[in-house]
Amino acid sequence: MKSAPRVSLISLGCAKNQVDSERMLGALSANGYDLVEDPAASDLVIVNTCGFIESAKAESIDTILEAAQLTGDTGGGEPKKLVVAGCLVERYLDELKSELEHEVDVFVTLSEEQRIVAACDDALGVVRGTTTEWEGRHLISPSHWAYLKIAEGCDHTCSFCAIPSIRGKHNSVPMEALEEEAARLAQGGVKELNLVAQDTTLYGADIYDRKSLPKLLERLNEVDGIMWLRLFYAHPANVSDDLIDAIAYLDRVVPYLDMPIQHVNDDLLSLMRRKTKKKKLSQTVGNLRERVPDITLRTSVIVGHPQETDEKFEELLEFLEEIGFDRLGCFTYSEEETTRSAEFEDDVPDAVKQERRALVMALQDDIANSQGMGCLGSDVEVMIDASCDGGYFGRSTADAPEVDGRVLVRSESHHLPGDLVTARLIEADGYDFVGDDISGFANHEPRQVDHEQLSASLPMVS
């Protein structure tokens, strides 16, 4: 009997792209493909690309070319079959077909990803009657946490961003479908769901005629097996009182919010089409910290955007020092064709962009070190990720997977990935901590919730 074709997938870019990769792998597995991690051990390689900014595009092209050089098991034989999918294909399909016609066997646009099985069959010459329908995912992440993509596309017109032209208009996933997906993931062992979209705060506006993220969180909060719900990509213009209430009162929604502000100078915010102002940003942060005192706030900023003068950059730096975000990422401006910002002169030299980024990150390092020292002696709930010498690596509610710090939990008890333990923090190094296990295995005890107050604060969705 002929062995099943072996396929590996290289996923590039953001968490939302990773979900697409996991869905493609789930479909391939359901249709008889053998999934392998090592591209060199596969018959076919899929590269799921990113086309967001120049550095991501360069990484995607380099990865495609590297995959195209892989040959069969004997070495020096026929090249492996290569399928290229994702945002880069959606954005530059004609150019890629012209430049990589000898390297790539099949290109798959975003709208065609549901046909990934047929695309791989075509590349390998596999003949089958019909494919098996499959809505599940094969997780790339560890089995105890996953991303949950609640919407596709974006309705914002941020001047620097090409995502709407790649991914289209905002399109929310119905609540029932998200509840079902969350339940399937929980049944598979997932304990933590990280909600992602281009803008999670717009969830439901297109299908329920109102922004319905708080209601979605309320419903996901009831899914058996899910311990932590975490929010990414919240647009600051849409962080409402209802959303803050949901974070404050829902027991499984961790006190964490990823809220990219991009800049604080009002002229630049207007140029960027960010729909908010410095005063509003400050008020939103104040409201979050007042009503959710233990909240961890992550943000991202862009330096070097056209017309960012030294004075405007200093205003950003002063704001960041004053606010003291708990987590922060800083990006240098990348001019992207088809965006409105590309119409302006890219008037900040690359060397200045890099210098400004270094200053932002140096400031953030100081903030992180100061905040870290202030946490010593406190007791935190930690989700175990993996074992290590002397204990376990894990994350507190303040630490999102892949982008934040971790806690080394010193313990002689036996724990598994996804277990929740209590650790007393005794050492700090920026975002990373060492803590002593003071609980043994601790079952998750939900926070006490005032359900009457919560129901009154959350919008209803028919």
Cα 93 from Cα 274, distance rounded (Å): 30
Q: How far from chain centre, in Å, is Cα 396?
A: 17
Long-range CB contact pairs, 70-76, < 8 A, 24+:
70/39, 70/40, 70/45, 73/41
Greatest CA span in the chain, whole angstroms?
Answer: 71
Return the HEC string of the chain: CCCCCEEEEEECCCHHHHHHHHHHHHHHHHCCCEECCCHHHCCEEEEEECCCCHHHHHHHHHHHHHHHCCECCCCCCCECEEEEEEHHHHHHHHHHHHHCCCCCCEEECHHHHHHHHHHHHHHHCCCCCCCCCCCCCCCCCCCCEEEEECEECCCCCCCCCCHHHHHCCCEECCHHHHHHHHHHHHHCCCCEEEEECCCHHHCCCCCCCCCCHHHHHHHHCCCCCCCEEEECCCCHHHCCHHHHHHHHHCCCEEEEEECCCECCCHHHHHHHCCCCCHHHHHHHHHHHHHHCCCCEEEEEEEECCCCCCHHHHHHHHHHHHHHCCCEEEEEECCCCCCCHHHHCCCCCCHHHHHHHHHHHHHHHHHHHHHHHHHHCCCEEEEEEEEEECCEEEEEECCCCCCCCCCEEEECCCCCCCCCEEEEEEEEEECCEEEEEECCCCCCCCCCCCCHHHHHHHCCCCC
Candidates 342, 354, 358; CA nearest to 304 is: 354
Structure tokens at 230: 């975490």
Domains annotated for the chain, with CATH where assigned, are 6-124 (3.40.50.12160), 145-375 (3.80.30.20)
Structure tokens at 88: 């880069």
pLDDT average, residue stretch 122-131: 84
| Banded model confidence at residue 73, pLDDT cuts 50, 70, 90 | low
**pLDDT of amino acid 443:** 43
| Banded model confidence at residue 235, pLDDT cuts 50, 70, 90 | very high
Task: Flag whether pLDDT at 77 surpasses 60.
Answer: no
Candidates 297, 305, 207, 211; CA nearest to 258 is: 297
Candidates 403, 404, 326, 329; CA nearest to 370 is: 326
**pLDDT of amino acid 131:** 77
**pLDDT of amino acid 440:** 52
pLDDT average, residue stretch 164-175: 91
Task: Flag whether pLDDT at 315 surpasses 90.
Answer: yes
> What integer best gives the mean pLDDT of the chain?
90
**pLDDT of amino acid 241:** 95
Task: Flag whether pLDDT at 162 surpasses 60.
Answer: yes
Task: Give backbone dihedrals phi and psi of 72, rounded to 5 degrees, phi first.
Answer: -65, 180
Structure tokens at 207: 């299908």
| Banded model confidence at residue 3, pLDDT cuts 50, 70, 90 | confident
Cα 246 from Cα 270, distance rounded (Å): 30
Name the region of 138 (left: φ>0; alpha: ψ -120 to 50; beta: rest): beta
| Banded model confidence at residue 188, pLDDT cuts 50, 70, 90 | very high
Percent residues over pLDDT 70 in the chain = 93
Cα 289 from Cα 225, distance rounded (Å): 29
Task: Flag whether pLDDT at 76 surpasses 90.
Answer: no
Question: For 107-111, 212-216, 401-405, 454-458, which range has the lowest pLDDT when averaged over its residues?
Answer: 454-458
The pLDDT tens digits for 267-290 are 999 999 999 999 999 999 999 999
**pLDDT of amino acid 250:** 96
| Banded model confidence at residue 256, pLDDT cuts 50, 70, 90 | very high
Name the region of 377 (left: φ>0; alpha: ψ -120 to 50; beta: rest): left
Task: Flag whether pLDDT at 72 surpasses 70.
Answer: no
Candidates 155, 156, 157, 167; CA nearest to 109 is: 167
Q: How far from chain centre, in Å, is Cα 256?
A: 14
Q: For the whole model, what pTM was predicted?
A: 0.89
Is 397:254 a contact under the CB 8 Å cutoff? Answer: yes
**Sheet of 327-332: strands edge to edge?**
145-149, 192-196, 228-231, 253-258, 296-303, 327-332
**pLDDT of amino acid 341:** 92
Rg of the chain on CA atoms, in Å: 23
Task: Flag whether pLDDT at 461 surpasses 50.
Answer: no
Cα 78 from Cα 106, distance rounded (Å): 16
**pLDDT of amino acid 78:** 66
Task: Flag whether pLDDT at 377 surpasses 70.
Answer: yes
The pLDDT tens digits for 319-362 are 999 999 999 999 999 998 888 998 998 899 999 999 999 999 99
